[in-house]
Amino acid sequence: MPYLLPLLTVLIWTGNTLVTKASAAAIGPAEIGFYRWLLAGLLFTPFLIRPVWRNRAAIKPVLGKVLVLAALGMAFFQSLAYFAAGMTTATNMAIIPSLIPIMVLLMSSVVLGSRLTWGALIGALISVAGVLEIVSAGHLGNLARQGLNRGDAMLLLAAVAFAVYNVLLRKWQLRVPPLQLLYLQAVMATILLSPMFLLLPRVGLNAHNIGLVLYAGIPTSMLAPLLWMQSIARLGPERTILFFNLLPIITVIAAALILGEQLASYHLLGGGLTLAGLVLAERWRTPLRAAALES
């Protein structure tokens, strides 16, 4: 069944959020980020090195753009999540990045000239209100006085980076097969992350963290992108993206059941507002300009 593909992808991403949180106590954030993409790159190499070499004439002119994509989507985005994991909860790690689709819609209207819709505008305001409820732990006054928790701030910055990544991916329309593009980004992310890996203190691979690295490197970095691409091919982007809405819900439940995190009322209210804003943005497609002209 085609609907199993995006559902399985969401379950893998859920597991990755839990793995990212667990990694904070088992391995350095710079280490797991480096090992993750190194492992994915090594495993992809036997299958993709020859196709990439044969396609080098098409790849060479866009290598700079591929490097930017690798920096934003592979190195920067996930590394910030690994560093944030020691300073925030898995519940927040699930809900805050759910702003990404809203950010993509708003950025697309500026960068790509896409029509801004009422759903995107109002949905963004509702979703931001939901995230503010969560990061302030239900007390906006405290947030104004004390500022954001560093972990939550990193997650917001990571979300912006990944939204920019998605917009640039659409803007540039690189004529490189998806698997080859993923492989090139994995290799470049490994290179980009190597200085931080070498300079920061390292724990090293051991029995306590090897499973985390394997999960991050194989299901998350290799299998999930393949399943998501297949989902888009079979179901279309509109129906596939709806499954993204399940990610914060499933992850919050998993964090409570597996990690024992306590759900507070502000999590429920903030998560509900964030999800409601996302659904509104996806379903209410009336363009702002069209509505203004009709009035």
Q: What is the pLDDT of residues 41-84, one digit of tens each?
A: 999 999 999 999 999 999 999 999 999 999 998 999 989 999 99
Q: What is the pLDDT of residues 142-187, one digit of tens each?
A: 666 666 788 989 999 999 998 899 888 888 888 899 899 999 999 9
The Cα-based distances of 133 to 105, 109, 140 in angstroms read: 22, 26, 7
Instruction: Point out which residues pair with 287 in neighbouring strands.
Output: 117
Q: What is the pLDDT of residues 196-242, one digit of tens each?
A: 999 998 999 999 999 999 999 999 999 998 888 888 778 766 667 76
**Where along the chain do its domains lie?**
4-294
| Residues ≥6 apart with Cβ < 8 Å to 188 | 66, 67, 70, 71, 74, 75
The pTM score is: 0.86
> Cα 22 from chain centroid?
18
Residue 104: closest CA among 241, 7, 276, 252 = 241
| Residue position matching structure tokens 């004439």 | 57
Q: What is the Cα–Cα distance from 189 to 184, expressed in whole angstroms?
A: 8
Q: What is the pLDDT of residues 95-129, one digit of tens each?
A: 888 888 888 878 888 887 777 788 878 888 888 88
Confidence at residue 52, expressed as pLDDT on a 0 to 100 scale: 96
Mean pLDDT of 34-47: 96
Hey, what's the torsion of the CAs at 279, 281, 287, 292, to 10 degrees? Answer: 100
Report the largest interatomic distance among the alpha carbons of the chain, rounded to a whole angstrom.
65
